[in-house]
Structure 1
Amino acid sequence: MKRRLLAALLLASAIGLAAPPARAQTVAELQRQIDELKALVKAQAQAPSQARGARRGTPVAVRPTHARATDAGTVPAAGRPVESAVAPPVVVAPVPHRFALDEPDTWSDALVPPAPQPLADGPNHGARPRTWFERLSLRGYTQLRSNEFLSGDDTAPAGRSRLRSVHDGGISDRNTFTFRRVRLVLQGDIHERVFIYLQPDFAVNVSNQSGPEGRQHYSQLRDAYADVFLDDERRTKLRFGQQKVPYGWENLQSSQNRLTLDRADALNSGVPGERDLGITLYYTPWHVQRIWDRLARGGQKLFGNYGALGLGLYNGQTINRIEANEDLMTVVMATWPFELDGLGEAFRGQVLEVGGSAYRNRFRPELGSPGLGNGYDDERVGLHAILYPQPFGLQAEWNWGRGPEYDPVARAILTKPLQGGYVQAMVRVDRSPVGPFMPYARWQTYDGGWKVGTGAPRLDTDEFELGVEFQPIKAVELTLAYASMNRREASISRLGRAKGDLFRAQLQINY
């Protein structure tokens, strides 16, 4: 190719020399044309290798080091050299944070914030600024339930408790199928040190819309917060907004990951709905995060995107309720995983996590007795321990304290002691003809007030649950459970406890 082009140039030059003197070319001009032709041939020869490098993801051009960073990475920096619109340089954008149900290596991203990615077009960023849809991801899940009475007090005369649960309105003598949760999560990094999280629920029931009966499938805000990281390693962060209150290990665990159908009464009664509006400081040492990352990659059900140490301040009236006094709820939490490899070969890979949490609050129940003032003392302390199932596991929590509770003798709300917890055993089977599955058994008990109920009624719970969770494919989870319940209904107008046996089923779709 080179020889043919050179011969053509020499032939053209000879013809030019034979032309009239006004068009004659000097030797220097001829040499210049030859040099230009050589450069063109060299550029054509390099073009295929550059194209192959671009297909392999190798950057061809590097952003100049003097480019100025912008706030969000979407506005070009001032002073950047103008790049050709005809042949822009080939650059490779970083892989955005994602969550793929069919790829186990990405599951941990749903439990902890992703590693920071440069969002501004600074000197160390060789790609174009990311757009909003590359910085944010959308995921969610839906839970469809069915509860069937096998025996017991599905109905009762006025003044007597019926078999009901504060966690599942579908436990009723007239319900068959119900949506327990329909969640969507919008999350992502909007800056190297800012992570946002927004979650509504579309399966909320409300009352008094067009008559005495409730209405279903309304939308309610569950989470709306921003994490501001105080260091480059993302070990320390401040969380602002409506968020989960770090009290109780199971309370923090997402319902998408939890093994049992509902949370235990004893711990959840401290923060019903698990959330409040406030500020939390979290800290996670690197070696603790390393253990959690390993467990998440192994498919373990962790407690979520939280720190090993937490300290928070909140309104104290629980989720989506207006603040009712000038007092703040103060919460402290600590949890620590220990690798048990040093105990011998039988414990290789095993992890035991232990910790505790406590809070101090003043709470005002709805429609309580007159003269509530700033509310009632609401204080608790709890402990937890989890031996992750590899394949056998144990989980337990207990808490003690005092809080508002209706007294039928005094006919008033009083501050009373409370206590309760649960013990749970589970086995994890990764391979079987029906896919992965986890059988479990749990016993729970609680004696204390349900402060968010009208008049702060008393709960008196004694329940045993036996179930199994199947996961035939990554997008589908099926839980079947038998429950033997002995409960007081959460109502100040119904007394005593109701008993019964239930068959319960839940189909969860992850997306």
Structure 2
Amino acid sequence: MGAPQAAFASERDDARIADLQRQVDELRAIVRTLQAERAPAGMAAATPAATPLAPAASSAAAAPVQLAAAPATVPAPVAASAKPAAPKKAWYEKLQLRGYTQLRLNEIVSGPKNAASGLARIRSVQDSGINDTGNFSIRRARLVVQGDLSDRVSLYLQGDFAGAVNNQSANEPRQNFFQLRDAYADLYLDKHKTLKVRLGQSKVPFGWENLQSSSNRLPLDRTDAINAPVPGERDLGVVAYYTPPSIQKIWDELSHDGQKLFGNYGAFGVGVFNGQGTNRVEKTEGLMTVAMATMPFRLDGLGDAFKGQVAEIGVYGLKNKFRPEIRAGGVSTESYQDDHIGFHAMLYPRPIGFQAEWTWGKGPQWDSATSTIRSSRSTGGYVMALGRIKESPIGQIMPFARWQHYRGGWKVSVNAPRLETDEYELGVEWLPLKELEFTFSWANVNRAEADERRTGRAKGDILRTQVQWNY
């Protein structure tokens, strides 16, 4: 090849190399842009510097044109991005649904199931299923909706599908209607939730066993004496609860151990309510005032025999005016003094425990001597021994023995009849599964019937069985 031809070939190779170098530079610029977009903020994408192509040979005799091998461009590792924060749940996503149902079988095995007009029969104000024809009954079928609306506000809504409606055709009641039990909101006044105000229909803080849920109580029913000042346990009003962290810690430990506590209530409570009772229209201008204080404490300091044991004592009182329903129809036009005080004391079973409550006061009750309603003295309470076999081959077993006594009115029945109750009860609760509980009990009763038209007291024995499923 002549000199002119060699010079032309060299210029052509230089132009080709320059064009290739330009394309490589453009590709590297694109890679750097993509890496910068993928890298976290504040981190530069590392891209190797451009490597120039090797110079071409200047003579015709030179070897064929070679491009210098450019190092492979490996994208710089992208740092793991911080895990995005979970989206905040809406209030309705924080609600929970739970409840329980109780199926009972009551049988009067001795004593007057029926009696002549004017004489008392074996009956109980705590369970209408104790009667001459009663077999199976649904005592409670509760459904609860609860949850936090925010860090400072929570709601609680409970209904019962086993309510009864009276005064139907031929005065025959209808069973298993849905009835409101609780409808309240808790407003927490501090971030640690030690102080809260409860607004709406809720339990009145009077009586330890009144506050304890029926799903958690060992005996099938509450006692007449403790329940008489607040039958139904609830009213409409406002109540404040305060629980010091040291007390809450003890209750949390007892709850974790599976002990039967009294529920979501404070160590100190004070409130005002309508005073007419659960789901009843208010009839007086005044408000019922109530206060309660309870204090759990450890007994470890008393020696090894009491290691792990917890005792609890408390007091409570209420002041109220009440108008009972009357036989002539409607509600009394007179308001009756309805004031009570009481105390409770208990030793949580580990494995043996004790529980007792007693009340004193005055409330509306029928006076047979004058055939009128008067505000008269009432008193009574109970003492109970209980045990706990936490683990056995067949599940948890809790036996109990209880004696109760009461003399006083039952203000939510027509004409506020006077009750006279003495009862001994033996029973056992068996939990083969946490979702399933069985209770078996025998009671020897000596009771006046809650009807001022029937006199005397009925004596006899009752066998009772209950199965409860929790959901």
Task: Calculate the TM-score normalised by the size of structure 1.
Answer: 0.79
Residue 409 of structure 1, CA deviation: 1.4
- Which residue in the other structure is 1:445 paired with? 405
Whether 1:419 and 2:379 are equivalent positions in the alignment is yes
User: Is contact 1:458-1:490 (8 Å) kept?
Assistant: yes
Tell me which amino acid in the other structure corresponds to 2:467.
Answer: L
Q: 2:370 aligns with which of 387, 410, 424?
A: 410
- Which residue in the other structure is 1:296 paired with? 255
- Which residue in the other structure is 1:258 paired with? 217
RMSD: 2.3
Q: Structure 2 CA distance, aligned partners of 1:42 and 1:170? A: 82
Residue 32 of structure 1, CA deviation: 2.4
User: Is contact 1:326-1:374 (8 Å) kept?
Assistant: no
- Which residue in the other structure is 2:162 paired with? 203
Whether 1:219 and 2:174 are equivalent positions in the alignment is no
Q: 1:35 aligns with which of 32, 41, 52?
A: 32
Tell me which amino acid in the other structure corresponds to 1:266.
Answer: A
- Which residue in the other structure is 1:160 paired with? 119
Q: 2:22 aligns with which of 10, 21, 25?
A: 25
Tell me which amino acid in the other structure corresponds to 1:308.
Answer: A
Q: Structure 2 CA distance, aligned partners of 1:45 and 1:150? A: 83
Q: How does 1:303-314 map to 2 (within 5 A)?
A: 303-314=262-273
Q: Secondary structure at the match of 1:191?
A: coil
Q: Structure 1 CA distance, aligned partners of 2:257 and 2:188? A: 27
Change (3 A) 1:466 1:43: farther
- Cα deviation per residue 1:135-155 (whole Å; 9 max; x = unaligned)? 100000000000012111111
Change (3 A) 1:440 1:44: farther
- Which residue in the other structure is 1:246 paired with? 205
* Structure whose CA Rg is larger: 2
- Which residue in the other structure is 1:381 paired with? 341
Q: 1:354 aligns with which of 313, 323, 327?
A: 313
User: Is contact 1:340-1:349 (8 Å) kept?
Assistant: yes
Change (3 A) 1:412 1:295: same
Whether 1:494 and 2:454 are equivalent positions in the alignment is yes
Residue 491 of structure 1, CA deviation: 0.4
Whether 1:185 and 2:144 are equivalent positions in the alignment is yes
Whether 1:339 and 2:336 are equivalent positions in the alignment is no
- Which residue in the other structure is 2:326 paired with? 367
- Unaligned residue ranges in structure 2 (runs of 5+): 1-12, 39-72
Change (3 A) 1:478 1:204: same
Tell me which amino acid in the other structure corresponds to 2:389.
Answer: V
Tell me which amino acid in the other structure corresponds to 1:149.
Answer: I
Residue 18 of structure 1, CA deviation: 3.6
Q: Secondary structure at the match of 1:258?
A: coil
Residue 31 of structure 1, CA deviation: 4.2
Residue 345 of structure 1, CA deviation: 1.1
Q: Secondary structure at the match of 2:93?
A: helix
User: Is contact 2:158-2:182 (8 Å) kept?
Assistant: yes
- Which residue in the other structure is 2:3 paired with? none
User: Is contact 2:210-2:222 (8 Å) kept?
Assistant: yes
- Number of residue pairs matched? 423
- Which residue in the other structure is 1:149 paired with? 108
Percent of matched pairs sharing the same residue: 54
Residue 408 of structure 1, CA deviation: 1.2
User: Is contact 1:137-1:188 (8 Å) kept?
Assistant: yes
Of 328-337 and 132-141, deviating more is 132-141
Residue 37 of structure 1, CA deviation: 6.9
Q: How does 1:54-69 map to 2 (within 5 A)?
A: 61=82
Residue 208 of structure 1, CA deviation: 2.1
- Cα deviation per residue 1:132-181 (whole Å; 9 max; x = unaligned)? 44210000000000001211111111001110000101001101000000
- Which residue in the other structure is 2:232 paired with? 273
Tell me which amino acid in the other structure corresponds to 2:205.
Answer: P
Residue 25 of structure 1, CA deviation: 1.9
Q: Structure 2 CA distance, aligned partners of 1:184 and 1:134? A: 18
Task: Calculate the TM-score normalised by the size of structure 2.
Answer: 0.86
- Cα deviation per residue 1:347-375 (whole Å; 9 max; x = unaligned)? 11111100010000000001268995450
Q: Secondary structure at the match of 1:365?
A: coil
User: Is contact 1:145-1:179 (8 Å) kept?
Assistant: yes
Tell me which amino acid in the other structure corresponds to 2:299.
Answer: L
- Unaligned residue ranges in structure 1 (runs of 5+): 1-14, 51-59, 62-89, 92-125
Structure 1 stretches of 4+ with a deviation exceeding 3 A read: 17-21, 26-31, 33-47, 368-374
Of 364-373 and 267-276, deviating more is 364-373
Residue 28 of structure 1, CA deviation: 5.3
Q: Structure 2 CA distance, aligned partners of 1:303 and 1:253? A: 4
- Which residue in the other structure is 1:174 paired with? 133
Q: Structure 1 CA distance, aligned partners of 2:283 and 2:295? A: 35
User: Is contact 2:437-2:469 (8 Å) kept?
Assistant: yes
